[in-house]
Chains A and B, each alone.
Chain A
């Protein structure tokens, strides 16, 4: 067996062991009456189908369209976001960060994986990974290059490490060429990564 084959086999059996352990623990906890598996199904369904970055995109599109909403969002994001119907777990205290032509904001959690669930859903693997958590606070422009874009010289960069229960949502710059667009059309331009600060919104010609 080559070294590569050996590693592959090792990874595979470890994964199987994890699968078995998780399944066994669910059985034990159900037998003891500590969990109701149908509640688990509902939790999973919620985060797979209802809560995700589409929520945040609606918030951003509203802020781009409605100056009074934008002002409320910047002043105190949690109640402003609740107006649209998003609130709760891992979004109890939200702060919105306004990008400007001179300032780009980026959000990280170096200690674990803190992320604004009600507006972005559960975090992607890269957000929880060691490379992102280590590099974002030291070389954020390098992180942006990993994502395929270069921040212009003359734009300062501010990184927000989510070390408490405050959750951050980046309000990206509205793309030019979108004058008169409806909120629905604007929301299609707002990418998840643009609300973390590792990407930019789509431009009008990139819209689906």
Chain B
């Protein structure tokens, strides 16, 4: 979706402000929001693409008014409500009012290390050969789906070069909608700064995105 999360190239007046000796979390609620979100993926059964869409799929004024972990928390509440794991009257009351739904399994302390170590690899075996090879010229398609996509707006319509073939990976556009992993070939595609930003661009700049095959067309 063309949401406020898709920030590449947006004119932002503030400089980047590094924080010296920054702590990992800035408040206790951030610690808990982070950990609850991590732990709930197992009983909740959603995938990372569903989580990302639940965070980004909100009006710009909402997305931009929330801090990072407030967005995580809002995404978590949405996933829980959508699946009926928690009801809105429970969130309003701040306590459980209805019986729990059965869940396959939950994250226990003895499972934490293994779950983190395993992670969620997204590479899958290929069912067809890759359409593109290193050095091929491609164009990022002009697409504007209302659903989740990982093709940022600033590259759409622009010509680039295949730099790397990264294997066949879970396709977020399908996976976020519950339409299955639908693995697709993934490529690093690089673009000249002038191609993206015009003649005034830094001529020494190249920018790359990782793009799945359905995002690309041969030139």
Digit string of A109-135 for contact with B (CB within 8 Å is 1, else 0)?
011110000000110111011111111
Most buried by B among A31, A35, A147: A35
Q: How many residues of B contact A (CB 8 A)?
A: 94
Digit string of B26-39 for contact with A (CB within 8 Å is 1, else 0)?
11110111111011
B19 touches A39 (CB 8 A): no
Assembled-state Cα–Cα distance A108/B216 (Å)? 21
List A contacts of B202 (CB < 8 A): 139-141, 157
List A contacts of B211 (CB < 8 A): 163-164
Digit string of A85-99 for contact with B (CB within 8 Å is 1, else 0)?
001111111010000
List B contacts of A208 (CB < 8 A): none
Query: In the complex, which of the residues B18, B172, B190 contacts A126, with contact meaning CB atoms closer than 8 Å?
Result: B18
Chain B CB within 8 A of A65 CB: no
B123 to chain A, nearest CB (A): 7
A89 touches B25 (CB 8 A): no
Assembled-state Cα–Cα distance A48/B118 (Å)? 19
List A contacts of B85 (CB < 8 A): 32, 34
List A contacts of B86 (CB < 8 A): 25, 28-29, 32
Chain B CB within 8 A of A146 CB: yes
Q: A28-B94, A36-B108 are in contact. Are A131 and B17 (CB under 8 A)?
A: yes
Q: A38-B109, A46-B112, A87-B119 are in contact. Are A18 and B16 (CB under 8 A)?
A: no
Identify the closest chain A residue to B155 (Cβ).
Answer: A161
Q: A29-B36, A35-B107, A163-B211 are in contact. Are A124 and B19 (CB under 8 A)?
A: yes
List A contacts of B119 (CB < 8 A): 87-92
A158 to chain B, nearest CB (A): 5
List B contacts of A112 (CB < 8 A): 5, 52, 55-56
B29 touches A132 (CB 8 A): no
Quick one: which of B79-116 are within 8 Å of A by CB? 80, 85-86, 90-91, 94-96, 100-101, 103, 106-109, 111-113, 115-116
List B contacts of A122 (CB < 8 A): 24, 34
Chain A CB within 8 A of B61 CB: no
List A contacts of B59 (CB < 8 A): none
B108 touches A163 (CB 8 A): no
Chain B CB within 8 A of A156 CB: yes
Chain B CB within 8 A of A200 CB: no
Assembled-state Cα–Cα distance A24/B212 (Å)? 40
Most buried by A among B31, B80, B116, B150: B116
A92 touches B120 (CB 8 A): yes
B109 touches A39 (CB 8 A): yes
Query: In the complex, which of the residues B22, B55, B209 contacts A124, with contact meaning CB atoms closer than 8 Å?
Result: B22
Query: In the complex, which of the residues A39, A87, A91 contacts B39, with contact meaning CB atoms closer than 8 Å?
Result: A39
Chain A CB within 8 A of B145 CB: no
List A contacts of B24 (CB < 8 A): 47-48, 52, 121-122
Identify the closest chain A residue to B118 (Cβ).
Answer: A88
A-B CB proximity, top 6 nearest:
A24-B94, A110-B8, A164-B210, A32-B100, A40-B35, A31-B96
A-B contact pairs, 23 of them (CB 8 A): A19-B28, A22-B36, A25-B36, A26-B36, A28-B91, A28-B94, A29-B36, A29-B86, A35-B106, A36-B39, A36-B106, A39-B39, A43-B34, A43-B39, A92-B119, A93-B123, A110-B8, A122-B34, A134-B9, A138-B8, A159-B206, A163-B209, A164-B166
Known: A43-B34, A130-B64. 13 other contacts (CB 8 A): A33-B100, A36-B106, A39-B107, A42-B112, A44-B31, A112-B52, A124-B22, A131-B14, A131-B16, A134-B9, A138-B154, A164-B186, A165-B121
